[in-house]
Amino acid sequence: MTWWRREVIYQIYPWSFQDSNGDGIGDLAGITARLDHLRALGIGGIWLSPIYPSPMHDFGYDVSEHCAIDPRFGTLEDFDRLLQESHRRGIRVLMDLVLNHTSDQHPWFLEARVSRDSAKRDWYYWADPVGRGWRRRPPNNWQAVFGGSAWAWDAATEQYYLHSFLKEQPDLNWRNPEVQSAMEQVARFWLDREVDGFRLDAINWIGKDVQWPSNPSAAGRDRFRMRSYLRQLHQHDRDQPETHEALRALRKIIDQYPETVLVGEASADTPGGPAAFYGDGTDELHLVFNFRLLKARWGAESFRQVIDEWERAVPSPGWPTQVLSNHDQSRHATRHSRGVSERQRDRRARMAALLLLTLRGTPFLYYGEEIGMCDGRLRYRDLRDPYTKRYWPFSPGRDPARTPMQWDATPQAGFTTGRPWLPVSADPDRINVAAQCDDPDSLLTLYRRLIHLRRTSPALLDGEYEDLLPEHPTCLVYRRALPAAVPVDAWIIAANLSPRPQFVELKLITPTCRVHVSTDPLAPLDRPHDGAVLLQPEEALLFRVPPE
Ligand code: NOJ
Ligand code: CA
């Protein structure tokens, strides 16, 4: 089994993981110094959010040079050292590859905007205005994800350029073969340095309809959404078929480097949703994120629905991913627990860990998730991300999920000796690595245990997912098992997502099954079960089922 199916992948937001020189910004030397934490956790791969030189309007997702390291994070030598030290510990390293756009400070764009005849003009999308003077307007109604029109006026050359995100992030023209080959060179540069693959940013945006038709308006309640981007259906500005050609070409390159992987971020509206980017399961991306679980409301029915959908959508022989948190969304410890007690929040975070690590597919952990980090409670003046500022306080935005990693209970949480770029979250003293490291009942210990189990259990890794009680309103009960002919243990997961105790009746839970893990550290493991079991409020059990 390839490593990226077997291992858990951990997302590091470089700004926030560990600062090594007191400037308040995380860096590569800091990450290297903390690799043993990841090894003890059982992580087999890390994905670094962008570390390339950047004006940092979008905190690195606005790349101004592709084959170098931003001095805030260190040097190429620091990178090589991180790579070497990670590999020495059996940890693979994925870079973030931002293919849809560059920074407006990238030499390609600087050259493109010099004149309409520039050799690089056609590397980006340009369009003439409709109307003149004060009546001048962009060619269509497309909106940027971060708000406002997706078209920015370039006064010098009197044309608009397209930017799907910030205006400092002009979109590249992927129909231009020169763009494709330039990006291939970038990919090869890092592959030749022995990185183990890429997380592809916003990959479903690289194709658009260049006849520039306007998008239709959204219907129903979406018509009134605060973000203008959500008030339209994205029929023309992303998810176009030619994206698949570009991905097939990229896959051919990657396939020349054994054991490397492409993971795509595709919050797509295509008929197949994100799963369309697996291609036929062998010719496009190895892995695609599915954000529906991350967006699902806490509850057995909503979780079941998205899990089932995803199980059905991923083409065979494709392989699913599972993700609950990342740098763009509220952390799940916070998101699942608005308005509930701290105790309940902890119970839910533990249950989420068990689900994430026992579902079928490669789990992605977001830094700090393993200790139950919550969104930081920030004030407006703390904010750094333009998108978070724009919609504050009506939307939680992204900065709260990006606060520094909590290593210990000192004031700056062991992250920096200086002033952190975002304040350390005022979480309780126990939400840090030092406090949880040797505590057998901590969330960190639970993650370590579950990751170890997943890596060493053939059925948890590779077994089918079977929903055992599809009608149950409050409990999610499923089995992970290999075909009966393979004599290994199977697993049954029974999760009570309600705040009341629940009896689960199921013949398969025979007395020979053993409760291997409860997410409730105080609950007895040897409780009676014979065709039924009593689950505590917001408790999940993992049963080991011996082969027949
Ligand atoms: C998705 C990334 O996850 C997000 O952080 C970024 O702002 C956009 N793509 C634009 O690159
Ligand atoms: Ca630093």
**325 in Cβ contact with 366 (< 8 Å):** yes
Residue among 226, 325, 455, 434 at smallest CA distance from 11: 325
CATH architecture of 464-545: Sandwich (2.60)
DSSP letter for 402, please. Answer: G
pLDDT of 270 = 73
Residues comprising the chain, all counted: 548
Please tell me the distance from the alpha carbon of residue 208 to that of residue 211, in angstroms, as a whole number.
9
**28 in Cβ contact with 424 (< 8 Å):** no
DSSP bridge partners of 262: 198
Predicted confidence (pLDDT) per residue in 389-404, tens digit:
999 999 989 999 999 9
Pick among 3.30.930.10, 2.60.40.1180, 3.40.50.1970, 3.90.400.10: CATH of 107-162: 3.90.400.10
**189 in Cβ contact with 156 (< 8 Å):** no
Which position among 265, 375, 489, 520 bears the catalytic label? Answer: 265
> Rounded to a whole number, what is the largest CA-CA distance in the chain?
80
Q: Answer yes or no: 265 catalytic.
A: yes
Residue 212 pLDDT > 90:
yes
pLDDT of 527 = 87
Residue 271 pLDDT > 80:
no
CA distances to 345, 400, 450, 487, 539 from 350, rounded to whole Å, are 9, 21, 11, 30, 8
Q: What is the mean pLDDT of residues 105-112?
A: 98
Please tell me the distance from the alpha carbon of residue 341 to that of residue 349, in angstroms, as a whole number.
12
Q: What is the mean pLDDT of residues 411-418?
A: 97
Predicted confidence (pLDDT) per residue in 169-189, tens digit:
999 999 999 999 999 999 999
**402 in Cβ contact with 375 (< 8 Å):** no
| Residue 184 C-beta-side C-alpha neighbours within 13 Å | 18
pLDDT of 483 = 95
Please tell me the distance from the alpha carbon of residue 73 to that of residue 370, in angstroms, as a whole number.
24
pLDDT bucket at 79, cuts 50 / 70 / 90: very high
The answer, as to whether pTM is greater than 0.95, is yes
**Residues, CB-to-ion distance under 5 Å, ligand 2:** 19, 21, 23, 25, 27
- Which ligand number lies closest to the CA of residue 266? 1
Predicted confidence (pLDDT) per residue in 460-501, tens digit:
999 999 999 999 999 999 999 999 999 999 999 999 999 999
From 95, 165, 200, 326, the mutation candidate for ligand 1 (largest count of ligand atoms within 8 A of CB) is 165
Residue nearest to atom 11 of ligand 1 (CA): 61
Pocket flag, ligand 1, residue 97 (CB < 6 Å): no
3-state secondary structure 285-298: CCEECCCHHHHCCC
DSSP bridge partners of 504: 533
Residue among 182, 189, 212, 204 at smallest CA distance from 112: 182
**50 in Cβ contact with 86 (< 8 Å):** no
DSSP letter for 149, please. Answer: B
DSSP bridge partners of 416: none
Predicted confidence (pLDDT) per residue in 289-327, tens digit:
999 999 999 999 999 999 999 999 999 999 999 999 999
Please tell me the distance from the alpha carbon of residue 478 to that of residue 491, in angstroms, as a whole number.
8
DSSP bridge partners of 327: none
From 15, 106, 201, 288, the mutation candidate for ligand 1 (largest count of ligand atoms within 8 A of CB) is 201
DSSP bridge partners of 402: none
Residue among 80, 15, 79 at smallest CA distance from 49: 15
The CA-CA-CA angle for residues 323, 325, 330, to 5°, reads 145
Residue among 142, 131, 161 at smallest CA distance from 214: 142
pLDDT of 428 = 79
pLDDT bucket at 27, cuts 50 / 70 / 90: very high
Domain ranges (residues) in the chain = 3-102+177-451, 107-162, 464-545
How far is the centre of ligand 1, averaged over its atoms, from the C-alpha of 61 (Å)?
A: 6
Annotation: CATH topology of 3-102+177-451? TIM Barrel (3.20.20)
Cβ neighbors of 34 (< 8 A, separation 6 or more) are 17, 18, 407
What is the percent of the chain with per-residue pLDDT over 90, rounded to a whole number?
97
pLDDT of 272 = 77
Residue 548 pLDDT > 90:
no
Q: What is the mean pLDDT of residues 406-422?
A: 97
Q: How many helices (H) and strands (E) does the chain have?
A: 15, 18
Query: Cis (ω within 30 of 0) for the bond into 458?
Result: no
